[in-house]
Structure formats: structure tokens, C-alpha cells
Structure 1
Amino acid sequence: MKPVEITSINFQEFGILYNMTSPSKGTGWVNQSSGDGWEDTNTAIPVIDSLASLGYTFGSGVPFTAHEMERHMHTQEALFCQNEPIVFLVAPATNENAPNANEIVPVLLRPGQVAVLHRGVWHSSAHGLTKPAHYYWMALCYKNEPTEWQPISGGPIHVE
């Protein structure tokens, strides 16, 4: 599979897209302001709907193969790049116990974009588009929290 620009799909099925560099190309509302030598963009509402921990992950580059995906029923998760574009898989939230390979979409998230995944949406870890890359995420984390990793039904998925 090849990644698609996150702005080229109806991301609302999976979550909210904040486009901090081009607000009209996102689904979440942002505020903009500027002053003497500065410009600012911020989300009009909190990024996720609960308390959150901030995470920092290093992912290998594309190509990659995903054998499993995760979902969180207890929290939303926000993903955003450090400096490099990242690619991750998403699949709709379902009552099934595993993501279905036929419903998976590999999405490309660029610096300045923030993807906030709805509760229950299946997703993979992220990987750098052209090389290994760091990225940030926000989610409610605590000891023994119920994040669920499951093998991909009909998988694995290879992204080029």
C-alpha cells in the first residue's frame, strides 16, 4: 500500500484533523493571531477530551510492515510530527476484536498537522516518510490502562 495525504480522505470517520499551517484544509477549528514578528495558531478547543500524557516515539522509516494495530476505548490520541512527515495506518472503530486489512488506510501526516483519533479507532505506530523519525502523541496514560494491540485480520499490511 502507498500512503495518502491525510487531507485527501474524509478523516472525520477516524477523528479530527487540525491543520495549523492551512486551517481551511482541516476539520478542527483553529484560532490565529499575530503581532510584531510572530504568528500563532492554536486549537479552538482542548486537543483531546481528557487529561493527557505527552509521548515521544521514534519510528522506523517507510517501507514498513505492520502485523498489529492498537485502539484505545478510554482516550482519544493526538499524533503530530516533530520535523519530518510521518505515516501511520488507521481503520474504523468497530465492535470487532481486530482491525480488518480491507478497511485500513495508510495516511501521511505532515509537520503542522495534528490528527486526533476518536476512541476505538484502530491505528499503528507511526513511521518516518523518508527516514526514521520522531513524533509526539498525547493520550491518557496510566499504569495498567486498557490499550489493546491486536493482529490485523487478513494482514499484515506492507507500506511502501
Structure 2
Amino acid sequence: MDKLAMTEAVMAAKADKGLTWETLAGEVGLNPVFVTAAALGQSSMPREYGERLAGALGLSGEVVDALAVCPMKGTDQTVPTDPLIYRFYEIMQVYGTSMKEVIHEKFGDGIMSAIDFTLDVDRQEDPKGDRVVVTMNGKFLPYKIW
């Protein structure tokens, strides 16, 4: 089973069972964003957790095997067209260079890890319309001087 077939199986089982990513993450014991990324084929999931996810969804060992495979990341060079995903692309276009300047000013020359990294999505109630709160937390990795 490849990543695409795995994702289709997970999404169908999730819909059939009426489960949320939050619920599945609780069953698996991992962050909802990470579980979703693995289910969508963007991250690998260690077998122990893949077995929990497949069990919660009533899926086969083939899904567990596919979840464990290291994915090919960053191969889509197309600008996203989904409005929600595009907004994040737009945020980076508008604020990316400013974020880079502020990070360099506070930490020095380096990058934020996307490996030693967590991402949380929360809802903040607001009388003017609920807010989406996205928290990215990555280890700072200074560039080596030699």
C-alpha cells in the first residue's frame, strides 16, 4: 500500500466512524497535528503509534506499514490554491522576511528546526468572531562557523 492509498483508507474510515483528529490523537497518544500529518502522508509514524491509529479506525496492517514509511517531502512546487492553505503561503510571502529578520536579531544567524518542532492549532473565542491560534515551536539551529 502506498501513501496515497493509505491516506484514502484513513480518511474513509475516519468519516465512516465520525471521528475527529482530536479523538484519534487521544487514541494514538500524539499531537493532533502530527497524527493528521502522518495520516495525510506527510510524516512517518512509528509502528507502535500506527498500530493504535489503525486499531482505532479498524484498518489493516498494510496501513501500519504505509504509515511507517518515510515520505518524500517538499516535492510540490505549485502555489497552493485551497484558500486556507494559500493564506499560510500568503502569510509567509508578506511576513516571512520580517520573521527572518526578527529571528536573526533575537537568536543570530541560523534557522528554526522543522525536525525538532511542534505545531498546535487552537480556537480562541472572541465576540467579534472566533480566532485561529497557530503556535509553531522549533529549536533554533545556528549556522556553523568554520
Structure that is richer in strand per residue? 1
TM-score, normalization by structure 1: 0.20
Larger radius of gyration: 2
